[in-house]
Chains A and B, each alone.
Chain A
Amino acid sequence: GAVVSQHPSRVICKSGTSVKIECRSLDFQATTMFWYRQFPKQSLMLMATSNEGSKATYEQGVEKDKFLINHASLTLSTLTVTSAHPEDSSFYICSARDSRGTGELFFGEGSRLTVL
């Protein structure tokens, strides 16, 4: 079946550095991908909608200059957390919508970011 892969699955970084997380659709094309954030023991909150070839659409309260999203191809979206701080530590999950047919949605495995 269709697979969405996220990399890295875990990352630890120092405060002030930038971290890039990749989301790839492995066997289908995705014109639209979604980035979610999940704090410990909480629900998933949509951060932004990533559209291939155009700017991402950010949810209210999400800093677009801090969470840079690039969707340069039909199979890859990247989320860059710039100048990371400890409060950015979270579980980030992407999902990709299959551009064909029903537009079925698939989630990546998630990336756990820890900022020291």
Chain B
Amino acid sequence: AQKVTQAQTEISVVEKEDVTLDCVYETRDTTYYLFWYKQPPSGELVFLIRRNSFDEQNEISGRYSWNFQKSTSSFNFTITASQVVDSAVYFCALSEAGRSQGNLIFGKGTKLSVKP
């Protein structure tokens, strides 16, 4: 069965600190996708990244970076020099490839609070 675990329920940091949000997944599929979404207090889901299972290269986008390691089934997300606007709930999600793609299994989310 597919499962996504975000062990950190809440994290609080001070502005400019770096913070890493953990995500561990379980799947029997060899082809799958991993996602990170940001959900600010307004509720909408903001897409951050999609990574397929064959691409283990780490990715950096501005202050955001992602570390995908199939050996440990982890897809961790790091925010460098955090800002107050980064405060939100962050969800890691997993989906199968092919026809089932889009049926996302979400983790429980990590609430990040960045204090000035």
A-to-B contact residues, CB < 8 Å: 32, 34, 36, 42-46, 49, 91, 93, 95, 97, 103-110, 112
Are the C-beta atoms of A95 and B106 separated by less than 8 Å?
no
For chain B, give the interface size range: 10 to 19
The 9 closest A-B pairs by CB, nearest first: A97-B102, A107-B45, A109-B44, A43-B108, A43-B106, A44-B106, A110-B43, A105-B102, A43-B109
Give me 27 A-to-B residue pairs in the complex whose CB atoms sit less than 8 angstroms apart, sorted by A's number.
A32-B102, A34-B102, A34-B103, A36-B104, A42-B108, A42-B109, A43-B107, A43-B109, A44-B91, A44-B104, A44-B106, A45-B106, A46-B103, A95-B102, A97-B102, A103-B102, A104-B50, A105-B95, A105-B101, A105-B104, A106-B47, A107-B44, A107-B45, A108-B44, A109-B43, A109-B44, A110-B44
Question: What secondary structure prevails in chain B residues at the interface with A?
Answer: loop
Query: A91's closest neighbor in chain B, by CB?
Result: B43
Query: B89's closest neighbor in chain A, by CB?
Result: A41
How would residues 15 to 55 of chain B score, 1 for a CB under 8 Å from any chain A CB and 0 otherwise?
00000000000000000000001000001110100100000
How would residues 47 to 83 of chain B score, 1 for a CB under 8 Å from any chain A CB and 0 otherwise?
1001000000000000000000000000000000000
